[in-house]
């Protein structure tokens, strides 16, 4: 993939993240102020599709990212340069301030993360004690408009205590992305997760569609790591 294709892939993913609509060459040229013609962009998008980074719904001329496209995108992010805006950092700090109860403080943080990310948060205090909140956020997204997808996701959460033990060993103390089959919650979801506790006996995971805002969610989880 050359630099122009890399730039276009990033633009497609950022645009699709914001709109949940397939992205076409005209939209990219107009919204990103590109110097290239629509024909040039269209040819490059076709090349990215042939390489497996993009695909297109049969009813649309626009394109959407594939799992391979998202994996490439994450490799290009400068995660150490990301920083949460002050108002959101303050909101997370307030969620745990003056809360003496260990469990309740982490639940409060989970609820704050749900509000700030518009995603779903799961906290496994141990392999057999799992708390989650914000599941309705998933079902309100266009990614899960299909009733069967909603049912599949519901089953995953109903059985999440069965999946957590196998996931623990993959999670570290640093926020880490898991896509596709890298996690047990279903290939339609992406996850940012990390361990916490004195001996890393607990984990917290932010779950959303593959179309999630990876940069913002990483910023949120990084701040949560400072506080948890």
What CATH number is attached to the domain comprising 46?
Answer: 1.10.10.10
Question: Are residue 86 and residue 62 in the same domain, yes or no?
Answer: no
| For residue 58, pLDDT beyond 80 | no
Better-predicted residue by pLDDT, 85 or 154 = 85
Question: Are residue 28 and residue 123 in the same domain, yes or no?
Answer: no
Minimum mean pLDDT among 35-39, 71-75, 109-113, 202-206: which range? Answer: 35-39
| For residue 192, pLDDT beyond 80 | yes
Distance CA 211, CA 143 (A): 8
Q: What phi, psi does 58 have (nearest 5°)?
A: -65, -20
Query: 56, 76, 96 — which closes off a domain?
Result: 76
Question: Are residue 52 and residue 124 in the same domain, yes or no?
Answer: no
Better-predicted residue by pLDDT, 156 or 224 = 224
Question: Are residue 175 and residue 215 in the same domain, yes or no?
Answer: yes
Question: Are residue 117 and residue 216 in the same domain, yes or no?
Answer: yes
| For residue 41, pLDDT beyond 90 | yes
Question: Are residue 60 and residue 98 in the same domain, yes or no?
Answer: no
pLDDT score at 137: 92
CA geometry: angle at 145 spanning 150 and 109, to 5°?
A: 60
Query: 23, 45, 76 — which closes off a domain?
Result: 76
Number of domains the chain contains: 2
Which domain range does residue 62 map to? 3-76
| For residue 42, pLDDT beyond 90 | yes
- Which residues on adjacent β-strands are paired with residue 54? 65
Minimum mean pLDDT among 46-55, 140-149, 185-194: which range? Answer: 140-149
Question: Are residue 101 and residue 176 in the same domain, yes or no?
Answer: yes
Distance CA 146, CA 228 (A): 35
Question: Are residue 161 and residue 190 in the same domain, yes or no?
Answer: yes
**Helix, strand counts (H, E) of the chain:** 10, 7
Supply the mean pLDDT for the chain. Answer: 92
User: Domain holding 122: CATH number?
Assistant: 3.30.450.40
Question: Are residue 208 and residue 97 in the same domain, yes or no?
Answer: yes
Each residue's pLDDT tens digit, 14-24: 999 999 999 99
Question: Are residue 120 and residue 90 in the same domain, yes or no?
Answer: yes
Question: Are residue 121 and residue 198 in the same domain, yes or no?
Answer: yes
Question: Are residue 105 and residue 214 in the same domain, yes or no?
Answer: yes
């Amino acid at each position: 993939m050359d630099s122009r294709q890399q730039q276009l892939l990033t633009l497609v993913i950022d645009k699709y993240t914001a709109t949940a609509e397939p992205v076409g060459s005209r939209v990219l040229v107009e919204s990103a102020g590109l110097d290239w013609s629509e024909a040039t962009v269209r040819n490059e998008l076709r090349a990215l599709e042939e390489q497996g980074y993009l695909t297109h719904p049969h009813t649309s001329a626009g394109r959407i990212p594939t799992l391979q496209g998202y994996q490439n995108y994450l490799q290009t992010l400068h995660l150490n340069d990301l920083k949460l805006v002050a108002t959101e950092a303050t909101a997370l700090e307030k969620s745990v301030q003056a809360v003496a109860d260990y469990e309740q403080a982490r639940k409060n943080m989970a609820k704050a993360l749900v509000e700030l990310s518009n995603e779903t948060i799961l906290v496994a205090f141990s392999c057999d004690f799992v708390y989650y909140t914000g599941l309705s956020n998933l079902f309100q997204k266009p990614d899960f408009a299909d009733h069967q997808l909603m049912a599949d996701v519901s089953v995953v959460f109903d059985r999440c205590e069965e999946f957590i033990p196998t996931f623990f060993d993959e999670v570290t103390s640093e926020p880490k992305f898991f896509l596709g089959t890298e996690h047990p919650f279903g290939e339609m979801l992406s996850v940012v997760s990390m361990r916490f506790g004195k001996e890393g006996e607990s984990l917290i995971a932010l779950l959303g569609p593959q179309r999630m805002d990876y940069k913002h969610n990483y910023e949120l989880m990084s701040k949560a790591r400072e506080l948890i």
